[in-house]
Structure formats: structure tokens, C-alpha cells
Chains A and B, each alone.
Chain A
Amino acid sequence: IAGITQAPTSQILAAGRRMTLRCTQDMRHNAMYWYRQDLGLGLRLIHYSNTAGTTGKGEVPDGYSVSRANTDDFPLTLASAVPSQTSVYFCASSDRTSGGNNEQFFGPGTRLTVL
């Protein structure tokens, strides 16, 4: 693994189904983030984690949950998908230590369609 990876690349999902988007980084970054990107709305923060064991809500957290059991992994779960959750989802990570510059590195994205 080099950098930050996401799985799956794309997914079509029936409304009401549960779905987990996976994100893994090997840069030992302490902070990780989930964004969704919709046309005309830019990137919006869903949830974030400043360090393993902690999570926080972003701008649009409703309908999503996250966990951060270790440094490398930050899965995003849709408990019961709805069509408005159709979007491209990006995971990102950053080094928030005193020597880091807070630059966020992005994964390749997951394109999710909820029907």
C-alpha cells in the first residue's frame, strides 16, 4: 500500500441497504477525514478523526457513522442508504503533529449510487 486507498471504487446500492466504505492509509497520519463531493457543492466534511480512538462530526454527518479503531483505518458506514447519499466519497488524511503542515492527502474516491 502506498499512500491512501479506498474501496470499493464504485458501488450501486439499493435504498435501505447498509454499506461500509473502506479507507486505509500507510503514512501514519494521526488525522483522517471523510468528505462527499456533489456537483456545485464542492467537498463537504462528513466526519473526522483527530487520532485513533476519537471521532467528530463534520458539516453533513446525518445518516453516516465512522470508527477509528487504529491509526490506519477509517471506515464510513451508511446504516440505511437513501438516494440523497448518491455522491462521490473521498477519504483524506493529514499529519496534525506540531511539525506537520496540515496538508490533506486524498484517496482516489468511491462513487456511490443509491437507487
Chain B
Amino acid sequence: GQNIDQPTEMTATEGAIVQINCTYQTSGFNGLFWYQQHAGEAPTFLSYNVLDGLEEKGRFSSFLSRSKGYSYLLLKELQMKDSASYLCAPFSGSARQLTFGSGTQLTVLP
């Protein structure tokens, strides 16, 4: 089965750092995706973690702990354009499918 938990909303200030957590219970877990979705737009790919540890990509980093069923997305030097919903999506290798969490709506304030 699939069970994904991430905060519904977060607020942070421009220039700050924010960490969005995600816990999951996924059958046949094979990796975890993070997507960004601006209001009224399609989700776009941010990161994919297969192995434990931190993956850094510019201002965004993503961490995975397979044994704990835990991931986080770290956003540094926040900009107003980072205001969006961030979707945690574990990938099941056995089902070959993504399951999406409900998303964390991040609001960046000036």
C-alpha cells in the first residue's frame, strides 16, 4: 500500500532556507521524486533520489533515508517565484508507478 505524509502549508521569508519533510510507506519502494507545481500549471520535475543521502542541485537539495521512509526537500536563498506546491512522490519499482502526496503549499513572503 501507499501512505504519504507531508505538511499542508508552510510559510517562509525571501532569502531564507526552508525544509519540506515527507514520510512514506510504499510497497516495493525504488526511489523518491520531488515535483514543483505552480498554481494553474503542470507539475515539473525537481529531483529523484534512489540511494540514501543528499542530492544537491543549485538552490534545491533533496535527502532520502530508505530505512526511515523519510525524505526532505531543502530550498535555499528563497525567491518569490519559489511560492508553489511541492509534491513528494515515492516510486514503486514493483508497480512501476508514482504515488503523489497531497503537496505542501509554500508561500514565500517579502
Same complex origin of A and B = yes
Please tell me which one of the listed residues B42, B48, B101 contacts residue A109 in the complex, with CB atoms under 8 A apart: B42
Number of interface residues of B (CB under 8 A): 18
For chains A and B in complex, what number of residue pairs have CB atoms within 8 angstroms?
Answer: 45
Within 8 A of A (CB), among B17-54: 31, 33, 41-45, 48
Does B64 belong to the interface (CB within 8 Å)? Answer: no
> Is the pair A102, B101 in contact by a Cβ cutoff of 8 Å?
no
> Is the pair A108, B96 in contact by a Cβ cutoff of 8 Å?
no
Known: A42-B100, A45-B97. A108 touches B41 (CB 8 A): yes
Question: Chain A contacts of B44 at CB under 8 A?
Answer: 106
> Is the pair B96, A103 in contact by a Cβ cutoff of 8 Å?
no
Interface string of B44-88 (1 = CB under 8 A from A): 110010000000000000000000000000000000000000010
Question: Chain A contacts of B97 at CB under 8 A?
Answer: 33, 45, 48, 58
Number of interface residues of A (CB under 8 A): 24
> Can you list 23 A-B pairs with a CB-CB distance of less than 8 A?
A35-B100, A40-B102, A42-B87, A42-B100, A43-B43, A43-B87, A43-B100, A45-B97, A45-B99, A50-B96, A58-B97, A59-B99, A90-B43, A101-B48, A102-B48, A102-B91, A102-B98, A103-B45, A103-B48, A104-B98, A106-B44, A107-B42, A109-B41
